[in-house]
Amino acid sequence: MVDLLLLVLLVIFALYAVYETDLLSSVVILSAFSLIMTIVWTRLNAVDVAFTEASVGAGVSTIIFLSALSRTKRREEITRNGKKLNIYNFLASLIVIFTGSVLIYGTFDMPDFGDFDAPVNNAIAPRYIYGSMAELGIKNFVTSILAAYRGYDTLGETTVIFTAGVAVVILLRRRDL
Amino acid sequence: MFEIAILFLIFSSFLVLYRAIRGPTIFDRVLVINFIGTKAVIILALIGFAYGRPHFLDIALLYALINFVATIAFLKYRTTGKLG
């Protein structure tokens, strides 16, 4: 019940942030979205993700959005073009609906959430849980997966995030805009 | 009992949704996120006690510290037009 209400709140905030043409209001509502998201992560017992969401989602990214807004205009320009129902839009939505239903059909074969017989719970998770201490000597197996078992993946992620950070700094520090 | 308290707090968050969506000025929306932020701090603390893991209180404290950063940034943007 609590989760349902939280998710409804999330959907309302997300739809509002998309449809609002006043970008400052959108940023404010996105901040509220992050606040609710933190509660959802905490209810899923993912405390570390909740920490990240609270500091990055509600704190830093709001400020980055605001500093980007201070370089541009506050209002979104409304184009009448997108509202018309021409043949291209119709075909595009047909393709999107078709792809979406194929993807949903693909999920029918997946095991249930938290299924005891699912392969991920039989082969992969015990390997990490029991092997972490013996192979690496790291007690927290979330850390051992992130830093050792999929270390190259984390390295690539860090590179992407560093590149994005450098790009944001370069864009926001330009004085001639 | 904690679940019921959380339900009431979320219900009160729904009440301010009207101001968030209809609110004529930006300040209504800033008030709304302040309200929701305060509720979130209490809900996080309650979840911690409901799950029997009182160290969730740390997130609630971090939250209370971060909460006003965004508000200050908004108000600075609104009054000076920039953040730098």
pLDDT in tens, A56-115: 887 888 888 888 888 777 777 776 655 566 788 889 989 999 999 999 999 888 877 777
Interface of B with A in 8-47 (CB under 8 A): 10-11, 13-14, 17, 20-21, 26, 29-30, 32-33, 36-37, 40, 43-44, 47
Instruction: Give me the pLDDT at residue B54, please.
Output: 78
Instruction: Give me the pLDDT at residue A176, please.
Output: 56
Residue A177 scores a pLDDT above 70: no
Domain that holds residue B37: 2-80
Which conformational region is residue A76 in: left (phi greater than 0), alpha (psi within -120 to 50 degrees), or beta? beta
Highest mean pLDDT: which of A109-123, A152-166, B9-23? A152-166
A11 pLDDT tier (thresholds 50, 70, 90): very high
Q: Which of B20, B44, B83 sits opposite A39 (nearest CB)?
A: B44
Chains A, B: CB pairs < 8 Å: 103
pLDDT in tens, B15-36: 888 888 887 888 888 888 888 8
Residue at token pair 């209490």: B42
Do residue B74 and residue A43 have CB atoms under 8 angstroms apart? no
Check CB contact of B81 with chain A, cutoff 8 Å. Answer: yes
Question: How many domains does one find in chain B?
Answer: 1
Check CB contact of A10 with chain B, cutoff 8 Å. Answer: no
CA separation for the pair B41, A22 (Å, rounded) = 28
Task: For residue B57, give how far its alpha carbon lies from the nearest alpha carbon of chain A (Å).
Answer: 11
Instruction: Give me the pLDDT at residue B70, please.
Output: 80
